[in-house]
A and B are shown apart, each in its own frame.
Chain A
């Protein structure tokens, strides 16, 4: 194996390094906190945030118009009563999953490579899950009554209908959002204390000081903190599986051909991780280039994330195959006709585009040259994001538009308002992310210090 100088010591270079360059506690703290505290506002940031902000306004305008006029502004009708709203919902909630996977499951598995990417992946989770939660509410006929899903003693003496998938969604998304938020904030507390102590204006000192809750790094506090953090990771882990399984059960609970399938929960979870890791790469690659974080988000991180894409992509491909197989094997003519409709029907181009994006486009990831090639990875990650959106659309619309009675068949065509909601939600996501990288440390500072401590200790031994 090739030998490389590693902090002055000759050790065997095991893999691509996790942290490049020569950093100590102080220099890594300064570098990461200065991203927030001293870096002047960059023109690129202003332009990017400006575009995102305009799209956010479009989103709010579209929501306001929807409230005023009703869901008829969308292309939904009978038989396709679930159009882009639910497509967007399933897509966004799926994107969130990679964040929880990285921060919780990889923490429990003691995968050190999570450290540089967990903070912004968690932020991505919260923003994506929050945006996802908007869509099921919007597609309710009377969205202003969404709080009827909450069990509370009310004067109407009504309770939520526990047998309804809509109520399951409420509990699943609500829990997911709250637990992710707690997990994220808890990880931020020591870094907020760092920002408080290094803040260069009184205003920042006060704001970060209040948010840091008086954290001072006491040894017993760290002890309890680590216990609680591990427990939260352990609690978030089943959530990763359960949230999207419940979303999948929303479909499988009905007997519509194409939905009534036992593979749905694992299929949806794999798809969620697939699209989530694609989004992590879509965000990480510009982030590391823009903030010059190549020393922390190294080729090794990209390599690992790309391998996860390859693995989850194969589970997704397997699910596509099993869907076709089960339709044939069941001998159910409605199932079979739905599959054939996907192959040859009016939405066939979307089906084949899904296959190209989600199955064929990831095959170059077998080669490490591609996995560490920033541009190729970025392109593939965007293709996957598009492909996963198409997959959700395909599942929802091709199952609904031709069910049991040919007399009831119909088509779904999106309207401008459908587009406004999709593009606007992307804008809101981007705007939140732009604000996040300006106001909070995008990388977990204290965990990077710990990583350096471990690295030094390994060299000492």
Chain B
């Protein structure tokens, strides 16, 4: 088995190196549009994976992701905007002095965004996590709306409904994909730790889990807080990608798109969330063609605004109706499966796709 372990380690390092090389060259050679879609994919991968931690792995149906993103995006934006542009933008009410002269670099701002979002997540989690199923869903949805309404109304901090502009623009692929890869590695480690097993135990049977001595509330709160942390990180990246944010961006619709990724990828599979995150985001951009005017064989076909969302709603319902477990179910990709497929190494250990949930 040792040889196989080494092979796997080498493969992991090689893949990460390959990813680094791809990102480096992608940064140089991709068009701005392509790079933007790739970055957006990275953001949705983070969102999908972190929501999957809460919904798929811990079994809490939480619909608050957009709210945490909102908090993250605003935190990152306020921390990184230059004092001059803050002075220019806040013309309804000046920004409170404590925040006026803050000017942080990108990376600490991303971490701070996650931390603030996690703080709110835990704050909300205390009352909300006593609820279950659809009550939890509607309560978290409510909390996300309340967060958004608070952001709209605290004008001296967030500039209210006008939103923020001139947020520093980040175009480098490695920032986005770096965050995505770190997120996946952290979540993977978490899921395979004793905490992760506790999460899955709670998902499968709360009463049995409690009987085994797992502290339900503590673990639920952990999962919720960590999910909120990464949602905040994704929100920060979103702010740097589109450079202007306003509260209406973070409506429930956003949570819905993330939910689509979780469901399509498979509830309880990080691999699924990664695949679905990229596929859904790219498809969503690609499908823009149905909304633009087309000219086929001399015929003018007018674009239909809103058609994309129709297609995606149908897709969501179809997946739930006919393909309930999504692309991956609760399976994960691992090297054993690939090596078995290739017939390399020893075949003694049944590390097939589907072994680990």
Asked whether A and B interact, the reply is no
Interface residues of B (CB under 8 A from A): none
Interface residues, chain A, with chain B CB atoms under 8 Å away: none
